C-alpha cells in the first residue's frame, strides 16, 4: 500500500531544497486541477511506495490566496497519511502560525525545523523536546541545504504515516473561545470526519467563505459568532489570530533560547 506524505511550509522555509533532497530526480510536475499553481510530487528516495506531495508555499490555511485554497483543499479532501511541516528555525514565530493550523487537521505531523546551521551559527538553541510537547508533534532539526537531519525526518514521517493515526491538536485557546468552538463542533456532529471537526469549527467561526464548499451541510453558527464577538469586543477572525499568536509566544518562550538571553541570565 502506498504512503502519501505532504510537505507544507511557508515560502522561503527551504521547502524546495528539502523536496529536491528527499526525492532527487524522481519528480513529476504538473498543475493543480483548474488553477495555474504548480503541483509537484516525487517518490521518496530509498522507498518504493512513498510519495511526497509538495504543497504550495503558504503562510496560513485561510481562503485568501489560490495557494492557500489549493493546499487546504488537498489536505482536507485527499488526507495525506502524514505531513512534514518544514519551518524556518530562524523565524519561528511567523512559521508556527501555519503549524498551529496544520495540527488542527487531525493528520499526523512531523515538524522539520530547518536552517539549523544558521540557528547554531547565531548561537541560538531550540529545545526540540519542549517544542514537540507544546505543538503535539515530533520535531527534527534539519538543514535542507547541508543535508543534515533529513534522513531522520523522512524516516520518522514514513513511520508516522504508516500508523494512519488521527492526531488531535494539543494547543488550546482561551476558555471563552474554546467554549464557542465546542458548541460549533457539537453542531457539526458527524457531518465532518471527527478528526477534522476542530478545523471546520474554527473555519466556520472565522466566517471562512470557502469552507462551505467542502461540506454537505453548513450549520447556522452566526448567532454564536455574534455573541462571542460582542463578549470579546473583536471580530472572530482576529480573535483566532490573536489566540494563535498568544499560544505561539508561549511556545517560543519555553523552547527557543536566544544567545543574548543566555548571556543575560548567566550574568
Ligand atoms: C537561496 N540552511 C541555509 N543556510 N539555507 C537554506 C537551508 C538551510 O538549511 N535550506 C534552504 N536554504 P527554498 P522555499 C539563496 O536561494 O528551498 C536556502 O521557498 C540565494 N539564491 O538555499 O527556495 C536556500 O521553496 C542567494 O536560498 O525555499 C534558498 O520554501 C543567496 O533558503 C532559501 C542566499 O530556500 C530558500 C540564498 C539565489
Q: Which residues of 170-189 are buried (b: 16+ CB within 10 A; e: fewer)?
A: ebebeeebeebbebbbebbe
DSSP letter (8 states) at residue 114: E
Check if CATH label 1.10.287.1770 holds for domain 175-252: yes
The CATH 3.40.50.300 domain(s) of the chain lie at 3-163
pLDDT at 265 (0 to 100): 52
For 229-258, the pLDDT digits (tens) are 999 999 999 999 999 999 999 999 999 998
**Which residue has a Cα nearest atom 8 of ligand 1?**
115
For 2-15, the pLDDT digits (tens) are 999 999 999 999 99
pLDDT at 167 (0 to 100): 86
Specify the CATH number for 3-163; select among 1.50.10.150, 1.10.3720.10, 3.40.50.300, 3.30.1330.10: 3.40.50.300
Q: How far apart are CA 260 and CA 265, in angstroms?
A: 9
Question: For a pLDDT cut of 90, what percent of the chain falls above it?
Answer: 89
Any ligand 1 atom below 6 A from CB of 14: yes
- Average pLDDT on 89-113 reads 96
Cβ neighbors of 149 (< 8 A, separation 6 or more) are 112, 116, 140, 141, 142, 143
pLDDT at 260 (0 to 100): 66
ipTM value greater than 0.95: yes
pLDDT at 264 (0 to 100): 56
63 CA from centroid of ligand 1 (Å): 27
Q: How far apart are CA 186 and CA 80, in angstroms?
A: 26
**Which residue has a Cα nearest atom 35 of ligand 1?**
14
For 112-146, the pLDDT digits (tens) are 999 999 999 999 999 999 999 999 999 999 999 99
Given pLDDT bands bounded at 50, 70 and 90, which one contains residue 1?
A: confident
* pLDDT over 90 at 166, yes or no: no
Any ligand 1 atom below 6 A from CB of 117: yes
Given pLDDT bands bounded at 50, 70 and 90, which one contains residue 168?
A: confident
48-52, 162-166, 197-201, 203-207: which has the minimum mean pLDDT? 162-166
**Which residue has a Cα nearest atom 2 of ligand 1?**
115
Any ligand 1 atom below 6 A from CB of 196: no
- Average pLDDT on 48-52 reads 95
Average pLDDT in the chain: 94
3-state secondary structure of 5: strand
Any ligand 1 atom below 6 A from CB of 128: no
* pLDDT over 50 at 267, yes or no: no
- Average pLDDT on 17-45 reads 93
The CATH 1.10.287.1770 domain(s) of the chain lie at 175-252
Any ligand 1 atom below 6 A from CB of 115: yes
Any ligand 1 atom below 6 A from CB of 16: yes
Any ligand 1 atom below 6 A from CB of 114: yes
14 CA from centroid of ligand 1 (Å): 5
- Residue holding cell 493550523? 101
Q: How far apart are CA 16 and CA 2, in angstroms?
A: 23
- Average pLDDT on 200-209 reads 97
Amino acid at each position: 500500500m502506498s504512503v502519501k506524505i505532504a510537505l507544507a511550509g511557508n515560502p522561503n522555509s527551504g521547502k524546495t531544497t528539502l523536496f529536491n533532497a528527499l526525492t532527487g530526480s524522481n519528480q513529476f510536475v504538473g498543475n493543480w486541477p483548474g488553477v495555474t499553481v504548480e503541483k509537484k510530487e516525487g517518490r521518496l528516495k530509498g522507498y518504493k511506495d512513498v510519495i511526497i506531495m509538495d504543497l504550495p508555499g503558504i503562510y496560513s490555511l485561510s481562503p485568501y490566496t489560490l495557494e492557500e485554497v489549493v493546499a487546504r483543499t488537498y489536505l482536507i479532501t485527499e488526507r495525506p497519511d502524514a505531513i512534514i511541516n518544514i519551518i524556518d528555525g530562524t523565524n519561528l514565530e511567523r512559521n508556527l502560525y501555519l503549524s498551529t493550523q496544520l495540527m488542527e487537521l487531525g493528520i499526523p505531523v512531523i515538524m522539520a525545523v530547518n536552517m539549523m546551521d544558521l540557528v547554531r551559527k547565531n548561537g541560538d538553541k531550540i529545545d526540540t523536546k519542549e517544542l514537540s510537547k507544546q505543538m503535539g508533534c515530533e520535531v527534527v532539526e534539519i538543514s535542507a541545504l547541508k543535508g543534515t537531519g533529513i534522513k531522520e525526518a523522512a524516516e520518522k514521517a514514513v513511520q508516522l504515516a504508516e500508523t494512519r493515526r488521527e492526531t488531535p491538536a494539543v494547543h488550546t485557546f482561551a476558555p471563552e473561545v474554546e467554549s464557542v468552538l465546542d458548541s460549533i463542533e457539537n453542531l457539526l456532529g458527524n457531518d465532518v470526519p471527527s478528526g477534522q471537526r476542530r478545523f471546520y469549527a474554527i473555519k466556520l467561526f472565522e466566517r471562512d467563505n470557502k469552507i462551505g464548499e467542502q461540506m454537505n451541510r453548513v450549520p447556522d453558527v452566526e448567532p454564536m459568532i455574534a455573541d462571542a464577538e460582542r463578549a470579546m469586543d473583536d471580530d472572530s477572525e482576529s480573535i483566532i489570530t490573536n489566540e494563535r499568536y498568544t499560544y505561539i509566544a508561549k511556545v517560543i518562550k519555553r523552547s527557543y533560547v536566544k544567545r543574548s538571553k543566555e548571556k543575560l541570565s548567566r550574568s
